């Protein structure tokens, strides 16, 4: 598989070349905790909006979960198979992305949040 071409860092004024959107000096810091503003801000970065998300939806235009049930539904959401939990490398890992329709994504998210609540409560 061909490597992405080198491009200037996405940070204004930085001319360092990178394949990941930002050079190591300007790479966004991991979020302090899930749910924080920094965590969600990653989804506004050009590496997500201009590269990862549209590339994933072009490569996999149908919902992966619906396809398992033999249903063909247009995907509208790009989801991390395994939560990145504030880890930049996991956030930008293309192998960790899947295309889902909004109902399937919402079900997956609700299930994951319920599991976390159960773990915290010790049940």
Instruction: Tell me if 51 is assigned to some domain.
Output: yes
Question: The pTM is what?
Answer: 0.67
pLDDT by residue (tens digit) across 48-85?
Answer: 999 999 999 999 999 999 999 999 999 999 999 999 88
Q: How many domains does the chain have?
A: 1
Residue 52 CB burial class (10 angstroms; 0-12, 13-18, ≥19): buried
Give kind and range of the element (H or E) at residue 7: strand 7-8
The pLDDT tens digits of the residues spanning 19-38 come to 888 888 888 876 555 555 66
Please indicate, yes or no, if residue 21 is contained in any of the structural domains: no
Domain range holding 85?
Answer: 31-121
Does some domain include residue 8? no
Domain membership of residue 111 (yes or no) is yes
**Is 54 inside a domain boundary?**
yes
**12: in domain:** no
């Amino acid at each position: 598989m061909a490597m992405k071409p080198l491009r200037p860092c996405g940070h204004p004024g930085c001319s360092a070349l990178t394949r990941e959107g930002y050079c190591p000096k300007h790479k966004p810091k991991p979020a302090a905790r899930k749910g924080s503003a920094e965590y969600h801000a990653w989804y506004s970065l050009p590496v997500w909006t201009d590269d990862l998300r549209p590339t994933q939806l072009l490569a996999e235009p149908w919902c992966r979960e619906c396809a398992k049930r033999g249903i063909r539904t247009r995907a509208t959401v790009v989801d991390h198979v395994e939560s990145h939990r504030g880890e930049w490398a996991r956030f930008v890992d293309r192998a960790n992305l899947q295309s889902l329709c909004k109902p399937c994504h919402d079900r997956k998210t609700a299930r994951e949040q319920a599991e976390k609540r159960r773990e915290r409560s010790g049940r």
